[in-house]
Structure 1
Amino acid sequence: MPLKSNRSIIIVGAGPFISRSLCQYLASQNWRIVLISRTEHKLQTYATETANIYPSAPQVLTRTADASSPSRLLSALDWAASQLGGKVDVLCYNAAVIAESDLMSLTPEAFTADFQIAAIGVLIAGQWFSKHANKDYISGGEYPLFLVTGGILDKNPIPSYSSLSATKSASQNLTQQFSQVLIREYSILVGQPLVVHPIIPKEGGGWLTKSDPEVIVREIFQPFLEAREAIGENDDGIREWIRDRVW
C-alpha cells in the first residue's frame, strides 16, 4: 500500500544496511529524508545512490554527528527539524556499535562509549521528539511515530557480544518505557522493529541469513509506517497498535 507523500523522517545512525534500504524505500514514496551519522562520505554515498535511483524524489539531506555526544546529537536533530519545517513525522533511531566484545575482557571505557550510543542516544532522541513531532494530521487519524531498531539480545544475550547485548537491552527497555508515556501524554506512537538474525553479506552477493535489509524494511518497517497513517479519527487503532514486530 502506498504511503502518503510529502511526509518526513529523520534516521539516526544511518548505515549501509537497514537505514540505506529504508531511505530508498521512503524516497520511492516521495518522503523528505534526513540521515544522521558520524561519517560524511558514507552519508553522501547513500544520498547519491538514492538520488540516482529516484531522481524525482526530494533531495536526501545529511548531517554528521556522533550519537554518543548528547549535545552533538541534539544539535543535529535541531538542524534536521529546521530543514523539515520544524516538525517531523517519523524519527527512527538505528544507532549502535555492532561489534564483538568478550564479556571477560570488555573494559568499562568501551562499554560506556557503546552505552552512550545505543541507550543514552535513545533517551535523548525520545525526549527531543516529544517536542518536535508533527501532530498536524492527528485529526485525520495519522500519528507521529518514534521507531527504535532492536533485536532479541535483551532476552538471549551473547557473551561474545556482551556490550551490544547489554546496551541494546537498555535501549529496548527505554523504548518500552517511551511506549507507555509518549502515546498517553504526547500522542506519539512507538514501534520496535526487532531483527532476529544478523545481517551478514554473502561473498559474491546476497545474504547469509534471512535478514536481507530490503526484506526487513518490507516486513517490519513498512507495516509500522502504514499503520501509523490508519489509526482512525476516533483513535480506534491505538488500542490495536502493535509495538513490536519481529523478523
Structure 2
Amino acid sequence: MAFPKLSKVIDESQIKIEQKYLVKKYELILDRLKCVGCGQCSIVCPKDAILFGPAAAVYENKPKDLNAAVIDTVDEEKCVYCGTCTVFCPFDAIHVYEDGEKIKMEDLDIIKHNSLPTLNAEMVACSNLGRDAKVYWEGEIEVKFKMPEDKTEFKQIYTNKCPGDCHKCDQICPTDAIKFREMEDAWKSKILMEVDDEKCINCGACALVCPQDFYAVRWTKVKTTGAYNQIFWDPIKEKLLGQRVVFSKEE
C-alpha cells in the first residue's frame, strides 16, 4: 500500500480530508455548521487548497435549515495541514487533527516557530449566529448597486433580481447588518440596501455570496504584534489587504 493515503469526505455537516501514513494520521475538518463563508481560509491558504465557487450556486445547494458553508471543496492533494486556515478563521470552523485529536492553536508548528505574528483579535457577538467572531482586522464595505433612472426597470430588478427571492447577503451576514428597503421607499430614497456600520464586521461573506456582485469588501489593516517569518507572512498579508474575494462567480 502506497503512503501517504489520501481521502476526502463531504456531507451536510462537514468537509474532511485525511492524510494517513503508516503510523500517523492527519485530518483537516471544516465544520459546515459553523462556517459563514467569509473566504478567509481560502485567501490565506499558502497552497491554494481551499476552493470556492461558484459561490452563489454552492450556497443554493446547502442544507436549507443550516447556516452552512459556501466552500466548494478542499483539495486533499494540495493541503499540507499547516493550520494557517485555523489561525485566521473568524468563526472557529476549521481545524487540524493528529491521530483523531484536535491540535490546539498554540501547538501548531506555524505558531510555535513564529511563522505568523500574533493576531490582536476582538471577540464580537454575532446576532445571526448566536456566538462570537474573532475580528482581527479593520476594513470597509462598498455597496455597488446603482439605482436605474427608470422606475419600471428598478421594479423589475427589485422583483426579479435584488432582493427578489434571493436575500443571500442579509441571510448570510453574521451580524444582521444588511437590510433592504421596501420597494417604494427604495425608489424614493434611491437606496436599495443599507449596511449598518455599527454592526458590520467587514468579514466579506456578503461579497462572496452575492450573485449580482453588489458588494465589495476591502481590509485596510490586519492587527498583529510579535515576531514572524517574513517569507511566510508577507504573502498572506498582501492577499488579505488586496483583492479579498478570490473565487469565480460564473454559473
TM-score class, shorter-chain normalisation, is: under 0.3
Query: Higher RCO, 1 or 2 (CA under 8 Å, sep at least 6)?
Result: 2
Of Structure 1 and Structure 2, which has the larger fraction of its residues in strand? Answer: 2
Output the TM-score relative to the length of structure 1.
0.28
Q: Between Structure 1 and Structure 2, whose CA radius of gyration is higher?
A: 2
Pick the structure with more helix per residue: 1
TM-score of the superposition, structure 2-length normalised? 0.27
